Structure 1
Amino acid sequence: MSRKPLKGQHHVSAITANAKENYRFYTEILGMRLVKKSINQDDPSVYHLFYADERGNPGTDLTFFEIPHAGKTYHGTNSITATSLRVPNDKALEYWLNRFEEYKVEHDEMTRHTGRAILPFRDFEGQRLVLVSDEHDNGVSGGSPWKDSPVPVEHAIYGLGPVTLTVSRPELTEKVLTSIMGFRETRQYAPLVEGQKPVRVFETGEGGSGAEIHLEERKDMERERPGRGSVHHVAFRVENEEDMKKWVEHINEIGLPNSGFVERYYFRSLYFREPNGILFELATDGPGFEGDEPFETLGEKLSLPPYFESQRPQIEANLKPLKTSK
């Protein structure tokens, strides 16, 4: 059965030890909208928070599992080492540089990186993030900025950009990206660390910032030990449920160990690990986040998929209250 190409990044999910401070940073400083306050469906005792554009369009979600006792991250290889967030143009990066100074956000200098202006920064737990300018981007479109954001719409974050994978055996990850997932290698650029090999860029679908994986080889590092401020997995966009079933069949035919079809209510998923151990997810573009609360009040209440609703009293009793309503 023919499958449609993956469309680009769907979401990136990371780890925080402090949901309250996480909510403050991503909404008040970065100006993203909390479009869903839910639970980790594999561990309903912890929050799963979804930040995105105005309605959580696919390709715009940066999500966090709250693990209160998560330890420090020890950076290393075989991990997702940078998550990019798209802004409209180079001028927006100047706005953000001033904003980071105002709010004392740890950041690097603006620079140019494989043809784009970027501004690397870290959140309060050391999460490795990069603002990337879309000034010269002609690939997959981003989302729609949240009009009630504290950040002006003309400078707002409105999607996920390139995701960097740092691995010890890049030839194994490359094979999964190209032979199994349909990515194509488009270019290389100078190594991020002197003495290392060039970083290779792979893209899918319409390509561009929102559909790129950057593959970095590092043999001089130990494996990353994840904790607060690390990334849990990256998800890629599948058109719909019908196409997802074709991807499940495809992955099974290859013999790659995987989760099989998973119902997440807000989307349908498939999980597997590439050979260096990084967790990949395929996720459908829909149904989206408005099936259980209206657009106007997204993220203001604790949302539970229907199959968890009978457990609501117990779940709410185990969660530390997090005020997200106006």
Structure 2
Amino acid sequence: MILTSYRIPAIAGQASNPSMASTPSLTLLLALVLPLIPLAVAAPEKHLVTHLPGFDGALPSKHYAGYITVDESNGRRLFYYLVLSERDPAADPVVLWLNGGPGCSSFDGFVYENGPFNFERGSTPGGLPKLHLNPYSWSKVSSMIYLDSPAGVGMSYSLNKSDYTTGDLKTAADAHTFLLKWFELYPEFQSNPFYISGESYAGIYIPTLADEVVKGTQKALKPKINLKGYLIGNGVTDLDYDLNSFVPFAHGMGLISTDLFEDVSAACHGTFWGKVNDVCQEKIDRVRWVMSMYRSL
């Protein structure tokens, strides 16, 4: 695993993921939700969300949202959105969701993937984006925490702009501090099974955060986080592993023939990215050409 540092160019209320910046519906929803969120950490009932712009009707379960301060001196605050389980929140697992990037708001997951709502198809020029219930929401069986992390992503921010230059270890430490304070704010969930989940660059976020949680448990930090496991989808690990797996993955999935796989493997000696010889590059180009045909289907 390669740990990196990076700069998050966003400020509070702005999406730092370029794809989000070009998504008017999500940007507008974030802008409308932000004024409804109390800044100071308070009793959970003060974080209760009673309605969402664009959705008509009662919410399918209780929702909460707000900020938790992870660094008092710099005023570094992380935004979260909690969706209680629609089944049995007292017993069901609590799942933290992290989108990747680095720089993607977890509102991506909230409205495009596993959250309780999806956007209605079609544009809404001059009006609010419409939301409808997602029948496949993970909140059907678990309580979901959508966390904007690190500071500078989505609606999380810092009063010290230097915090927007950050790294994987600092991000993990802040997320761990967030969890400790979150479980203090919601003590009724301290005994629930807890899982960390996410995708893409969260393949870095999740193991480093899980390591912080385990070390915190070993140090007897309170409250104890009842970590049971983690889930990573399409996760980043490191460049050598990720980029070098392209050809073996294509063969394993039956997307290229065994003859082509053996041909490119012999020419490249198991290295399929970076500086390769001309014959190897020719074979890799052949693999990419074959793969491109699937995209056109």
TM-score normalised by L of structure 2 = 0.28
Compare relative contact order (CA 8 Å, sep 6+) and give the higher one, 1 or 2.
1
Q: Considering fraction of residues, name the structure with more helix.
A: 2
Is the radius of gyration larger for structure 1 or structure 2? 2
Q: Considering fraction of residues, name the structure with more strand.
A: 1
TM-score normalised by L of structure 1 = 0.26
